[in-house]
Amino acid sequence: MKFFVDTADVPAIAELNDLGMVDGVTTNPSLIAKSGRDILEVTREICAMVSGPVSAEVTATDADTMIAEGRKLAKIADNIAVKVPLTWDGLKACKTLSSEGNMVNVTLCFSVNQAILAAKAGATFISPFIGRLDDINLDGLQLIEDIRVVYDNYGFDTQILAASIRTANHIADCAKIGADVITAPPAVIKSMASHVLTDKGLDAFLKDIASAGIKIL
Q: Which domain holds residue 45?
A: 2-192
Helix (H) / strand (E) element for 26: namely strand 24-26
Residue 91 within a domain: yes
Residue 201 within a domain: no
Residues 6+ apart with CB under 8 A from 115: 109, 126, 128, 147, 150, 151, 158, 160
pLDDT digits (tens, 9 = 90+) for 92-104: 999 999 999 999 9
- Average pLDDT by consecutive 10-residue portion of the chain (217 residues)? 95 96 92 81 95 96 98 97 98 98 98 98 98 97 98 98 97 98 97 96 93 89
Instruction: Return the CA Rg of the chain.
Output: 20
Selecting among 2, 34, 83, 207, the annotated active-site residue is: 83
Residue 67 within a domain: yes
Catalytic residue flag (residue 176): no
Considering its fold, how many domains does the chain have in total?
1
Residue 120 within a domain: yes
Residue 119 within a domain: yes
Inter-CA distances, 145 with 20, 22, 46, 142, 160, Å? 27, 24, 31, 5, 10
Residue 186 within a domain: yes
Residue 217 within a domain: no
Give the helix ranges, DSSP H, for 109-213.
112-120, 130-135, 140-154, 168-177, 186-191, 196-212
**Looking at residue 20, which CATH number applies to its domain?**
3.20.20.70
Residue 36 within a domain: yes
- Tell me how far the alpha carbon of residue 200 is from its chain's centroid: 32
pLDDT digits (tens, 9 = 90+) for 31-80: 788 777 888 899 999 999 999 999 999 999 999 999 999 999 999 999 99
Beta strands in 47-151 (DSSP E): 54-57, 80-85, 103-109, 125-128
